[in-house]
A = this chain, B = another copy of it.
Amino acid sequence: MKARVHVMLKDGVLDPQGEAVRHALGGLGFAGVEKVRQGKVIELDLADGTTEDAVREMCEKLLANTVIESYQIEMS
């Protein structure tokens, strides 16, 4: 089974990487890019029977820094 985890900086936390992308897109002539946030996506191939709770524990312990990042889990 697979899990996909999105890790994004929380709202209000400055995202210099996203800001750099926004600026670069403007420089390339793309108009109308108002805001950019950049995060991580982690795709996990897991043994059958792994629960979403186990993935949540992975996020809390390793994948996300919950002080400044939020995460979202999709199992499939």
Q: Does A25 contact B (CB under 8 A)?
A: yes
A44 to B58, CA, bound (A): 27
A63 to B21, CA, bound (A): 8
A48 to chain B, nearest CB (A): 8
Q: Is the CB of A40 within 8 A of B42?
A: no
A68 to B18, CA, bound (A): 21
A45-76 near B? 1/0 per residue, CB < 8 Å = 11101100010011001110000000000000
A43 to chain B, nearest CB (A): 5
A54 to B31, CA, bound (A): 10
Residues of B within 8 A of A39 (CB): 40-43
